[in-house]
Amino acid sequence: MQGMTIIVKTVVRIVTSFIVLYGIYIVLYGHLTPGGGFPGGVIVAAAYILIMLAYGKEVALRSFGDKSASLLDNLGAFGFLAIALLGLTGGYFFLNFINHGQPFRLVSAGTLPLSNIAIGVKVSACLYAVFIALAIFGRAVYRAMEEPGKEER
Amino acid sequence: MVLFVVLLVFMIIGSIIAIEARNLLSSVISVGTVGFALSIAFLLLGAPDIAITQIVVEVIALIILIRGTISLDNTAIEKHRDTFAMVSALVFFGIFLAFSYVALKDMPEFGKPLMKVSQGYLQRGLQRTGAANIVMSIVLDFRGYDTLGEATVLFTSILGAFVVLRKRGRKKKEERDRARVGIPGDL
């Protein structure tokens, strides 16, 4: 049995969804309240790391491994770049080409919420990948997952 | 302002303890106290965005550092007192203090003359971008290039970490697959 005690696991199972929800709120309301893509992404990454610490590496890696984290990281980075490049359709790089709309509404400020979402996805996957890289690479669990034939020693 | 000075002194003491502590874990924890004090200082300076970012990143960094230090075997550091290094560090610190006294003597009061660029951002930020949070309108619209550069730095660093830390590269896996199928490895 990997991971921490059943108390920690139960608390984590209840709390994790709220942490992810709070992170998504911080990302989506970044253009209205303090916050934004970077802090929200870090909060979502903290939820992933909490799951990994409580349930053990194998459970977390099986559901959300390093390759998918790297893929999400790349998707977020290139999404942000694509939003910046789409501004070229209206004239110049980083043009806020979508209609600004009513201020203080959720859908307002043109491309800013979209950039926030891209940065949030990128940062969350990136920090999770950093945690995997620093804590797990080269350990027995990861090697056993890379080579399914060999048993973990 | 008194609270701010107290926080600064607390941060300096915490960093000194972090350098001088014999146990790696306790030095990591004192680095954490420095970061949390820094986030309170950002709150006092009226920058909630930075304070949120600082506190969240500090928590993640602490988790990663503790995870890294506990898994190491040698958490106790052996002390080597090098007098030459100590003396030279003190000399350079004195030179730095002297220069900074001369250079910072004529500094204006903290945040007092609001510069023209920032005044323009404050006046026209809402109207030009439609974002209620002025920080986001600067970070993602007026100064979008900076944020793109920041994202590129993160992207490149995680690529580098994956390449350096992953023990088994792609090439070996390919060789193994070839061997399984029966193609010689040096193809």
- Which residue among B136, B147, B158 sits closest to A31, beta carbon to beta carbon? B136
Q: Is residue B105 part of a domain?
A: no
CB contact (8 A) between residue A32 and residue B132: yes
Among the candidates B47, B74, B101, a domain finishes at B74
Euclidean distance between CA atoms A40 and B54, whole angstroms: 12
Q: Where are the beta strands (DSSP E) in A111-151?
A: none
Q: Tens digit of pLDDT for each residue in A3-40?
A: 788 898 899 989 999 999 999 998 888 888 888 888 89
Query: Using a CB-CB distance cutoff of 8 angstroms, which residues of chain A are in contact with residue B147?
Result: 80, 115, 119
- The amino acid sitting at A69 is A
pLDDT tens readout for residues B2-37: 888 899 999 999 999 988 887 788 888 899 999 999
Looking at chain A from residue 115 to 134, which residues have their Cβ under 8 Å from any Cβ of chain B? 115-116, 119, 122-123, 126-127, 129-131, 133-134
Q: What is the pLDDT of residues B34-57, one digit of tens each?
A: 999 999 999 888 888 889 889 998
A73 touching chain B per CB within 8 A: yes
Q: Which residue of B has its CA nearest to A134?
A: B68
Domain that holds residue B15: 1-74
| For chain A, domain boundaries | 6-146
Domains identified in chain B, total number: 2
Rounded-to-integer distance, Cα B187 and Cα B183, Å: 8
Give the C-alpha distances (Å, rounded to integers) separating B126 from A62, A111, B47, B60, B117: 45, 14, 18, 33, 15
Q: What are the structure tokens assigned to A23, written together?
A: 């992170």
Per residue, the 3-state secondary structure of B57-85, as one string, reads: HHHHHHHHHHHHHHHCCCCECCCCCCHHH
Domain assignment present for residue B153? The answer is yes
Bridge partner list, B76: B23
Q: Which residues of A touch B135 (CB under 8 A)?
A: 34, 36
- Name the CA radius of gyration of chain A, rounded: 19
Q: Which residue in B57, B130, B151 is closest to A108 by CB distance? A: B130
Instruction: Report the residue of chain A nearest B59, measured CA to CA.
Output: A46
For residue B97, pLDDT beyond 90: yes
Residue B92 counted as domain residue: no
